Amino acid sequence: MKYLVFLAFIICSTASSADLDCKQLSKIADENGTMFGTKYFFTLQGQKGFRSYFHNAPSSQCKNSKLFLIPDDTVVAYQQFNYEGISWLYVMYIDKQGRDTSGWMKDQDFKLSSQLSMND
The pLDDT, as a whole number, for residue 69 is 98
Domain CATH number, residue 28: 2.30.30.40
**Is there a domain that residue 35 lies in?**
yes
Q: Residue 32 and residue 82: Cα distance in Å, rounded? A: 10
Percentage of the chain lying above the pLDDT 70 cut = 80
Please report whether residue 32 resides in a domain. yes
Considering the domain boundaries, does residue 106 fall inside one?
A: yes
Residue 19 pLDDT? 54
Average the pLDDT over 42-62 and give the result.
Answer: 96
In a domain, 10, yes or no: yes
pLDDT reading at 67 higher than 60: yes
- Structural domain containing residue 18: 2-115
pTM reported for the whole predicted model: 0.78
Q: Please check whether residue 98 lies inside any domain of the structure.
A: yes
Count of domains for the chain: 1
pLDDT in tens, 10-23: 444 444 445 559 99
- Mean pLDDT, to the nearest integer, of 59-74? 96
Asked whether residue 23 is domain-assigned, the answer is yes
Whether residue 85 lies inside any domain: the answer is yes
- 120 in any annotated domain: no
